[in-house]
Structure formats: C-alpha cells, structure tokens
Amino acid sequence: MIRRACFLLLIFLLPLLGLSQEKKVVFIILDGIPTSELERVPTPNLDQIAKRGGYTRAFTGGERGGESETPTISAVGYNSLLTGTWANKHNVWDNDITAPNYDYWSIFRLMRAARPESKLAIFSTWEDNRTKLLGEGREETGYLKLDIVFDGFEKDTSRFPHDFEKEYLQKIDNLVSCEAAYSIKTQAPDLSWVYLEFTDAVGHRFGKSPQLTSAIELADKQVGRIWEAIKIREEKYGEEWLIWITTDHGRKAPEFKEHGGQSDSEREIWMVTNAQNLNNRFNSGQASMVDILPSLVDFLEIPIPDNQQKNWDGTTLLLK
C-alpha cells in the first residue's frame, strides 16, 4: 500500500519535477499535391488528423518579386521547411542541390545541439534529402549523424527497376511508410522526417487526372499507417506526438503538370496537423512553408541559438 501511494505521488509530481510527457515530432512531405486536388479527393486519414488539430491553405515561394522569391521546386521547398528560411538564405535553388548554405541550421541540427541524446530519423524515397539537404556527416553541419536511416531505394534498380510509369516510386513509398510506422511503434524517434514522392511523379505525367486522384488516395493511406502508429504510442506510453503534414509546392493551373514558377496555384500549398493550440496565423490561412520549423521548435521546447533564430523567415503557428 505504501509503495502504491508513493508511486501515485510520483506520477502526480512528474510535471513539477520537470519530467512531463515526452514530446515527439513527425513531419511528412507529400510531394507536389495541389491544394484544390487534395480538397477534392477523399482523404479520411488526413481528415481525421485535421479534425483533432487543423487544416489550412498556405504558401511557399517567398516574397513574389522580392529578394526572397524562391522557386516552387521540390528540394527548394524541403529546405525552406528544414531551415525556416527562403532560398536567398539557404541557397538551394533547384533539385541539384549544388551548394547549400549550412550556416542556416536544419531542424535536425537544432535538435541534436539542444538534446544530444535525441533519436533522429529519416524515412525517405530520395537519399539526397539526407546526404545533401541535411548534410549528414559533413564538417559544415558539425558532422550531423542521424540514428535511424531508411532511404536510398531509388538507387536499388534490381529490387525496384525503373519503369516509364514510375510505379517503382509507388512501391518505394509503400516500403518507406511501412518502415516509418514500424519504427515509430517500436523505437519512437524524437524527430522523424517522412518523405513520399509518387504523387509528384504522377502529377508530372498526367496532371489533373484519375491517376493523380488515385495517387493522393494512396498517399492518404500511407499517412494513415503512420498516424495509427502514433496513436498506439500515445495510448500505450503516454507520449505527446505532433504530426505535421504538408506538400512542397503546388502545380501550374489548369493542367497541374508543371511547377517552378510564381503563379498562384504553384505557390499555394496546404498543411494538416494534430496540433490543437493553433494560432490566428494558421487559422486565417496566412501560414507559409517557413513557419513550420518555428512551430516544431515551439512544440519541442528546445533552446535555439540567437544567431539562428534571428535569421528565420518564419514564425510559429502555435499559441504561446
């Protein structure tokens, strides 16, 4: 009886002792899904997440016509999310990623510096996300090292032979999302990036089409298995998880095949999250790609060096 009373007292005192719920983050990029198409296609899993938190239209591309104008291209958008800055700072202008400016730290580097013991993970259809954008193992990134790596399958042409329809990307996305879900359930990384590519390939090939509709529906199912893993962790271990899902760019209307320019439809993106303390910037549709990093940092409650935070182009979407 005494032991039980002491245990209950300890649980009651956890917040006071600084041992509150563990906070963990998963952010997901579903490549190249136009906002109007996402809103048209049934996405029950994204809808379930948004019902707990929120959904909003947002933008990428920096200040149109200004110094920060940023191409609406995949890797460029990823790095704007990762660093909270536009391309004039992070210096990624296309998918070649020739000379990133690592002086603007990624969310992974910020997390590693703030909590060296944290478990960092990436589950990606594209290896360059880790090796070039995050700069894993490079001197310029302080020899950043991730703990869980699941990527590079686009280079395994024996297991995933490249076909004209790019169905191999669909198979890789399925594998990546399954591994992400399994890892979350069994290892619970503190910070995870999941990147899925097939929707962009379908958009380039078919544009607005039944094929794109099917690809979006499949992406929703892939998100769903990750969301189920998160709910299991929350229920079984009492952890607090933030999931943030977005796309990297829109597509040029009306065909929705190409992107890269500054038209309204190319700049328009969307966000889905389970966060319940969303502020007016999120709810009024004024959010941008560069607001995601400050929001993840706020949720994680990690200290940020002043020389990094002052260079962010975004601001938090969470209530303080």
pLDDT, residue 30, reads: 98
Question: If you classify domain 20-309 with CATH, what class do you get?
Answer: alpha beta
Which tens digits make up the pLDDT trace of 274-316?
Answer: 999 999 999 999 999 999 999 999 999 999 999 999 999 999 9
pLDDT, residue 2, reads: 44
Residue 108 structure tokens: 């992974």
Alpha helical stretches, state H, the chain: 2-13, 35-40, 44-52, 74-83, 87-90, 107-114, 128, 167-186, 198-206, 210-237, 264-267, 280-283, 292-300, 306-309
Write 295-301 long-range contacts (CB < 8 A, 24+).
Answer: 295/244, 296/25, 296/27, 296/107, 296/191, 296/242, 296/244, 297/107, 297/110, 299/23, 299/25, 299/242, 299/275, 300/23, 300/25, 300/111, 300/114, 300/190, 300/191, 301/23
> CA neighbours within 13 Å on the CB side: how many for 115?
19
pLDDT, residue 94, reads: 98
Residues in the chain where the model's pLDDT stays below 70? 1-21
Cα-based angle 50, 76, 260 (whole degrees, multiple of 5): 90
Query: What is the 3-class SS of 278-316, one letter each residue?
Result: ECHHHHCCCCEHHHHHHHHHHHHCCCCCHHHHCCCCCCC
Neighbour-count burial of 279, counting CB atoms closer than 10 A to its CB (0-12 exposed, 13-18 middle, 19+ buried): middle
d(CA 252, CA 263): 7
Which tens digits make up the pLDDT trace of 89-99?
Answer: 999 999 999 99
pLDDT exceeding 90 applies to what percent of the chain? 92
Do 317 and 242 form a contact (C-beta atoms < 8 A)?
no
